[in-house]
Structure 1
């Protein structure tokens, strides 16, 4: 995924899951890692980081 796709995916996930979006992305990353899909896991970790930026540093 390129940076634009990651940003769009993060925003969509945040809109649909709100405060659970980062946890959802983390879960997807773990699932992809467990199944050996390392590139996809890396994408989900990038989406997770982007969600963190969308949320802002003070929200939990």
Structure 2
């Protein structure tokens, strides 16, 4: 997944799920890893990183 796509996905998830977006992404990461879908898990990790960066920025 390209960084711009991860950013767009993170924005959409935050709009729809609010603060629960990061929990949802964590669940998706675990599901993908458990089923051996490492590429998908890496994509979800990129989205998670964007969400975390944005939450840290808003807390300052």
TM over 0.5: yes
For the aligned residues, what is the CA RMSD?
Answer: 1.4
Displacement over 6 Å in runs of 4+: none
Instruction: Give the drift of 1:24.
Output: 0.5
Q: Provide TM-score, normalisation by structure 2.
A: 0.89
Structure 2 unaligned segments of length 5 or more: list them: none
Q: Which residue of 1 aligns with 2:28?
A: 28
Q: Give the alignment of 1:1-60 within 5 angstroms.
A: 1-57=1-57, 58=59
Q: Whose helix proportion is higher, 1 or 2?
A: 2
Q: Contact conserved, 1:7 with 1:50, CA < 8 A, in 2?
A: yes
TM-score (ref. length: structure 1): 0.89
1:55, distance to aligned residue in structure 2 (A): 2.0
Contact 1:10 1:48 (C-alpha < 8 Å) held by counterparts: yes
CA contact (8 A) 1:29 1:41 kept: yes
